[in-house]
Structure 1
């Protein structure tokens, strides 16, 4: 891998100051090389190396600045051009294909604490799959997202105090920008009067926060509908409109996301992980995991090539 660094076409500020080190992947699980107790990693990557299918608990953002970069996630290939942005959610198995030459910034963040913030539950659906942000796909917010990432990069490579706090504040701003863009461009409750829309959004944020706090327990549609104050019929319809997912699909998504993190701990058995994340049986866990991730929990833990 050292030879790849030497092949960089020129040494500019970011190349000279990058703290890039070889990526550490063991049985398809990547250990993020955060530096000096940080939970943020940004590096200027000009290596012409491919990375086989792998996953990690960090959020990853890829931003090419010279030549393209390819990524495959959930059986979908993303051809990322300079100036475009790809956001890979935590736990997503993906692989990266580099051209013979090129440069790109790679951002990695531990967002485990951010996801616990009140209101973040409303953004969960945005992180259910990768986001390819371009001037065409996100015209209203593309420039804002690009500027936020450039500010993060400048802070990371700068010498200012509190740079990690600043970077996380910018990352929160990025999430809010994505969330508000979704709310502004989708009529979440088309049959609800305008003055009721905000009330419904707040109510369903509360519902999602409740599910996120109790997903390990036995939750039923009747229970959550009662908690929301809606009839089961209206709750089912409104929940689908708000999250673009059924209640049981969202509950399964939440449980599988929790299981992804636990699968990185080799001391836990698959059965222990299934029961601790709310599944009633190992067979149900295996079936739903396979549906969502295209591989079994054991394959996810060791090797999964999305066949």
Structure 2
């Protein structure tokens, strides 16, 4: 990841707090509901699929993910998940800042395990599967951490940090860790172009956004840009913009009693009827049903944890 692009495509949510920068999320989605829109965050993430089957994307890599498998997402990696069959989907995401594991002083653990993880030189495999014995151990630790986090038992923070350190010890054996510190130049160019586009969308979603405006940022012809954007996100620019606006609207619906028509205007829709139509398609319920908690969709969390 190009560190000069820190805000690009960046998720706004705070995971945990300064004292313990870690949070876990459980999301359950009915069949056919979108899973995760393209996004990134400074924190690392373990994404564990509990039910269903999906197609997962990390940067420019795509791979099928089955129930009982997990993905490790590096700090700054673009990631998304897509429906791959007509079945419900349930997953848990454990999101943490790598600094959580840092030693108070520079010691052997910091030198041999933490720093290489922070620099992506010695990291977890991207796709973690139970068919490989030592990876199955990683999955068992993940399940225990999520259970402890959910119950918030006394000392759960110590248990989780200790478990993450144990997981680092499991990848210390030769041939287990992965080096993600270097990436293909062409892929880096694509990723940075996408970040530039989505930063613009995030900063301007309240105003009209034309495809031509987005294509000129890269720069590309309008047709070339649309093909590029869909190849990277599996959405058209209009669909992605609408999806981002719906996420903002969902937050406002949960946080205030403002009129639905006012919220539609606030997030960039100039027509309330069209807003309701797009919202219903994305969230499987109307805005008023969502506000009352009557919808089946997972709310704003469905767009990303």
Class of the TM-score when normalised by the shorter of the 2 chains: 0.3 to 0.5
- Give the TM-score, by structure 1 length: 0.47
> Quick one: higher RCO (CA 8 Å, sep 6+), 1 or 2?
2
- Give the TM-score, by structure 2 length: 0.47
